[in-house]
Amino acid sequence: GQQLNQSPQSMFIQEGEDVSMNCTSSSIFNTWLWYKQDPGEGPVLLIALYKAGELTSNGRLTAQFGITRKDSFLNISASIPSDVGIYFCAGQLGTGNQFYFGTGTSLTVIP
């Protein structure tokens, strides 16, 4: 199957710092999704992206659909303790196709 390379694998940051993570693929996707997963819970959708170059925000979170359509980026500004969790990217090759997932970025926020 398709492989999405997500980096970094883990991050340890101070409260108030900004966070950046990204996903890259060898294939062109038409949809990028970003999720957050808390322990013992299912992934929760944060942001959906559908056009190359698209920049979408959800509160302190901003995600971008890369112009090559092979990558996507997620930024979190002014991190807070409740941002702790695992963040996943997911990509879809085309309408109706299955989604592929990155291996996740584990975020720890130190108060």
Partner 1 sequence: NAGVTQTPKFQVLKTGQSMTLQCAQDMNHNSMYWYRQDPGMGLRLIYYSASEGTTDKGEVPNGYNVSRLNKREFSLRLESAAPSQTSVYFCASTEGGVGNEKLFFGSGTQLSVL
Integer Cα distance of 70 and 93 in angstroms: 10
Q: Which residues ranging from 2 to 61 are in contact with partner 1 (CB under 8 A)?
A: 4, 31, 33, 35, 40-45, 48, 50
Question: Phi and psi for 5 in degrees, rounded to 5?
Answer: -95, 115
Q: Which stretch binds partner 1 (CB under 8 A): 11-19, 59-67, 75-83, 99-107?
A: 99-107
Integer Cα distance of 49 and 56 in angstroms: 7
- Between strands 85-92 and 105-110, the pairing is antiparallel
Measured from the CB atom, the residue of 82 and 95 that comes closer to partner 1 is 95
Is 95 an interacting residue with respect to partner 1 (CB under 8 A)?
yes
Q: Which stretch binds partner 1 (CB under 8 A): 10-18, 57-65, 66-74, 85-93?
A: 85-93
Is 107 an interacting residue with respect to partner 1 (CB under 8 A)?
no
Confirm if 79 and 16 have CB atoms less than 8 A apart.
Answer: yes
Count CB atoms within 10 A of the CB of residue 89: 29
Binding site for partner 1 (CB under 8 A): 1, 4, 31, 33, 35, 40-45, 48, 50, 88, 90, 92, 95-96, 98-99, 101-104
